[in-house]
Structure 1
Amino acid sequence: MGVALGAIALVTFLSAPAQATDLQISPTNPRLGDTIAVVMQPSIPGDVAPTVTLDGTAYPVFPLGGNRYRALLPTTPIDRPGRKVIQVQGLGAPRNIAVTLRDRSFPVQRIRVRGGGSGGTEYEFSRVNALKEIVSPEKYWRGAFARPAQGRVSSEYGVRRYYNGVFAENYYHRGVDYAGGQGAPVVAPAAGRVVLVGRVEDGFVLHGNSVGIDHGQGVSSIFIHLSRIDVREGDMVQPGQRIGAIGATGSATGPNLHWGLFVSGKSVDPVPWRDRGFE
């Protein structure tokens, strides 16, 4: 299911002998749900970071060191596949880079859940939305993400669903589910800061007991349906550190862990982050 991220497209634009800009786009053949990395290296160091826009949305750009900058562009199963144009400004003349976003077939699943599968509280939705909107300048993660649980994958990213016989329009499974026994450990897949702890008794009736981690630079994770929570908001966690345990709280089919990964507010496929990761 993973997408190899090793392939890199190197595009060099020369607008003048003194102004050369290298652009690296990875992966070169993205498909729906992938995160697209755009790495820029101007030939002349500047004080202002370039800007990167896709489909009319400007995405944050962060320095990587060595006069390089990087933007992460999320795609989702409900995006329109086909030719996309990534616009880069602030490096001399505007650059337009064409990328083909490949279509992808997602399974359809019919499940029955307690609680109807759709109800939630305004409180929990507002807390989760706040998590997705965080764009910290720090980058906490390093390399590939780890598995947050050791059980088998019971539901893949992007699955379309019928909940209790009703098709969920414009919905896709925003993460990966891991089956596991009640109380099996859940660990942080990467370093970050705990910014969300939600409990059923506080109004997390859909998500159940939940933990949200800010990995930095617009990348965050959420872990839901937990039976217990072992961290507090504000804690810094490291890869492999226990943050809770698998459970069936909230709207769940049984004991499982749902791991969702957000990039600039959109739910992306966690598998490429787990298989190869991003610099």
Structure 2
Amino acid sequence: MIISALAFTLMNISVKQLAQYNVYEIVFFRGLGSLLLTMGILYRLKIPVLGNKRKLLVLRALIGTSSMTLFFMSLKYLSAGTAVSLRYLAPIFSAIFAILLLKEKIRAPQWLFFLISFTGVLVLKGLDTNVSTIGLLLILAAAILSGLVYITISKIGNSDHPVVIINYFMFTATVFGGLLMIPYWKNPIGTDWIIFIGLGIFGFIGQLYMTKAFQIAANNLVAPFKYLEVLFTGLIGFMWLGEVYTQWSLLGIILIILGLVSNVIYKSQRNK
């Protein structure tokens, strides 16, 4: 999970480094790099590309691509650490969708943990003047859609191989980004080519090792380490990109992560 967090961190920082390019071009390269890897794996393992639950696979891919695009857009307005921490509100929205769509129940302690995380959002926006309203709206929309992605994946269940699910996602992102970037295409210059290529590689490594982590260790041990991505991204953003984090932004991020990690630990103990 630590390797996964580092890989996603490098992807986030890469997107920040490509701020001068249109977001659709970034989405295209992010999708293409991973698509080549997933297609290679599916071919090697002789796994059918189209999968079984095709309608849900397409739906997951469309929602995931929209969420990723909004996340990349938000990075043009927010510091990387702030954007990543707000994106991790997705499990809260997923829980709300689970109540509405799957008739699942959320226990009182979980609502308390969610309230702590939302308090962090209020601290970020209400007390930190550096947080852009546009950026906040974009990342919250991305988190809501990401919550829907979790629900869709749960409906797919074990019917399809994880790489098939990722492959649908990356194919959709490649086509979506490729078509919409045409009017805004800008030739990458110098080392930008390396950064663009790295987007797909880092994203794929992040997804691969996150999956492996959940396969070989208990959820309550592994899941909290997901949030190292916030720490890594914030530190690199501060040291490399010169991003500024006020005391209020740090407090808001801490509250968001505290609520989410507490919920993960609580759910894991309930499931024992």
> Which fold has the larger relative contact order, with Cα–Cα distance below 8 Å and residues 6 or more apart in sequence?
2
Q: Which protein is bigger by CA-based radius of gyration? A: 1
Larger strand fraction of residues: 1
TM range (shorter): under 0.3
Q: TM-score under structure 2 normalisation?
A: 0.25
Larger helix fraction of residues: 2
Q: TM-score under structure 1 normalisation?
A: 0.25
